[in-house]
Structure 1
């Protein structure tokens, strides 16, 4: 059993090395620790001991494990985990220690709900199978029936991401047997309270997506027109003169009879306010222009939106010594903008 656990750890480490070398996006790796059969809601049962009670006693122990995941977007990820239930270092060299430890494999989908860029709530849905059951032909034959050794799992948790790289999580997982679910039992067989730490490696998925877009689009399309639209302080509403600029842009595109037109909208905000708020504001500004262009007949699928937050100011050092808020807001006006780039094939 120890050899198998070491082999799994080596496999995960190898995957990290190979994926990091290729600079893939969205990958993350971490470790988890906690307690299995941690039940915050005590259930009142009769004195009759059931098979489910034996299962609880057997797995009530500390856990330690590793997980590897891939984040497709801010809302959806896939994870594979290997963890040892009943991890007891002082027993690991005893011959009967295998009775105290159980190695499990878990595959889950993770659905996240971003509260801010750094703080997310999430749920995980998946299944757990012990390695002993996984290599047993008899158990695998029963995996799709009522006596299945697979334990479906459901998790609720929260995670915080430091510096866009380091992850810390706290979650609680309910595990139940197929038999209990079929019998409409509301009492889970097992529960895990877990604290996890992880690390994101490779390029962020958004950076990689736009790098791919740039490399592919720039090879086939060329910048034809450019325009900047400015916004009022703390606002994503279009100014009256902005409509005139956008209408003229629409007229120029039609006059040039461009084909296969695509439009890139890069939203920006000034430095006043926190990072999360400015990121959202810059996106809202870009979407307000996208919505107007769509109302003019442009295909929404051909309009790309990206919020840049306050990362690329035009004022730079010009306004740094201004302390008066009103004067500062006026000075930073050029930063409150959306940059519009129109791309088209060569005629």
Structure 2
């Protein structure tokens, strides 16, 4: 079991190493700990477990996920349930951990830019069953050892990078589902994860290397600042990003620095109102920079209104207004471009 767990850990780490350099994806890696309510110390007898038995034990795991957009993602995880007894205390081979792998889709609903509720739908199998040809042959039968799973949970994202979440997962055998029996297993879990890629809704800090051609203008950095619906107010996380940009500007070794602020809105509202709102959002960023010592004549303002959305394909079929407002969040932004002459 220990060798298998080490192999899984190495696999997850290698996946991180291979994809970490990609700046436009939404990868995240995490660990989980919680409590499970099935007879895991004798899990080989799981099929004969009676409904009135209530045996609990801890569950630990690692998971790797990819977020395609704010609403849809995929996850793979390896869970270990139960304690590892020391060899001197192990009286029988039944007292071992239960190890399983689970693949699931993750469907999320953003309540705010940082807080979401979600559900996961997938399937789980114990590693022992995955290595058995007979068990794999029966995977689509009534007596399949594949356990369909369903999770409900909520998560909060700190600084666009660190995730904490809590969820409860129901797992039931195919036979129990067909008989409309109650779920066989249940896990209550708290998880912590790190987003090491960039997704459509997370504007990560991005710097560009200067070109080597003398006296040629180059892009120093790009960044987006997002705004609440129908507002020009800067959120606390926006101040953190602006502080990073200000520090980066101060580190640029050039006296000729130019900042272009392009304000944008979502598609809700009329054209004239959105034009004005986009300009006011850009001015709120300009006011920050000028209050931190950057000359006004170095800053150019552009109000783009709702002409250049970035959520067209994602949000085009949404009819619910509240859901649409959440989906259009990435459009409510000011794009900051800092350029300089060498």
1:338 is aligned, of 274, 294, 304, to 304
Return the alpha-carbon distance in structure 2 between the equivalents of residues 201 and 75 of structure 1: 18
Provide the residue aligned with 2:334 in structure 1.
none
Provide the residue aligned with 1:313 in structure 2.
285
1:192 is aligned, of 152, 171, 187, to 187
Return the alpha-carbon distance in structure 1 between the equivalents of residues 52 and 126 of structure 2: 13
Provide the residue aligned with 1:224 in structure 2.
none
Return the alpha-carbon distance in structure 2 between the equivalents of residues 275 and 337 of structure 1: 23
Return the alpha-carbon distance in structure 2 between the equivalents of residues 91 and 314 of structure 1: 66
Provide the residue aligned with 1:218 in structure 2.
none
* Shift in CA distance, 4/56, structure 1 to aligned 2, threshold 3 Å: farther
| Equivalent residues of 2:70, 2:201 under 8 A apart | no
Gaps of 5+ in 2: 39-45, 207-227, 239-261, 273-277, 293-299, 309-342
Provide the residue aligned with 1:172 in structure 2.
168
Aligned length, in residue pairs = 244
Provide the residue aligned with 1:204 in structure 2.
199
Equivalences for 1:259-274 in 2 at 5 Å? 270-271=232-233
Equivalences for 1:1-347 in 2 at 5 Å? 1-23=1-23, 25-37=25-37, 51-53=48-50, 60-88=56-84, 90=86, 94=90, 96=92, 99-185=95-181, 187-206=182-201, 270-271=232-233, 285-288=265-268, 313-317=285-289, 337-339=303-305
| Equivalent residues of 1:91, 1:97 under 8 A apart | no
SS of the residue aligned with 1:315? helix
* Shift in CA distance, 122/206, structure 1 to aligned 2, threshold 3 Å: closer
| Equivalent residues of 1:169, 1:196 under 8 A apart | yes
- Kindly report the root-mean-square deviation, in angstroms, between the aligned alpha carbons of the 2 structures: 4.0
| Equivalent residues of 1:104, 1:128 under 8 A apart | yes
| Equivalent residues of 1:65, 1:81 under 8 A apart | yes
Provide the residue aligned with 2:313 in structure 1.
none
Return the alpha-carbon distance in structure 2 between the equivalents of residues 18 and 92 of structure 1: 41
| Equivalent residues of 1:313, 1:335 under 8 A apart | no
SS of the residue aligned with 2:267? helix
* Shift in CA distance, 4/93, structure 1 to aligned 2, threshold 3 Å: farther
What whole-Å deviation, never above 9, does each CA across 1:307-333 have from its counterpart, x for those lacking one? x9779723345579xxxxxxxxxxxxx
TM superposition shift of 1:105: 0.3
SS of the residue aligned with 1:313? helix
* Shift in CA distance, 287/175, structure 1 to aligned 2, threshold 3 Å: same
* Shift in CA distance, 116/341, structure 1 to aligned 2, threshold 3 Å: closer
Return the alpha-carbon distance in structure 2 between the equivalents of residues 35 and 203 of structure 1: 32
Larger radius of gyration: 1
Return the alpha-carbon distance in structure 2 between the equivalents of residues 147 and 83 of structure 1: 22
Provide the residue aligned with 2:220 in structure 1.
none
| Equivalent residues of 2:162, 2:194 under 8 A apart | yes
TM superposition shift of 1:5: 1.3
Return the alpha-carbon distance in structure 1 between the equivalents of residues 84 and 178 of structure 2: 34
* Shift in CA distance, 118/182, structure 1 to aligned 2, threshold 3 Å: same
* Shift in CA distance, 60/125, structure 1 to aligned 2, threshold 3 Å: same
* Shift in CA distance, 180/163, structure 1 to aligned 2, threshold 3 Å: same
TM superposition shift of 1:35: 0.8
Return the alpha-carbon distance in structure 1 between the equivalents of residues 116 and 73 of structure 2: 13
Structure having the larger proportion of residues in helix: 1
| Equivalent residues of 1:156, 1:171 under 8 A apart | yes
| Equivalent residues of 1:315, 1:335 under 8 A apart | no
Return the alpha-carbon distance in structure 2 between the equivalents of residues 61 and 340 of structure 1: 53
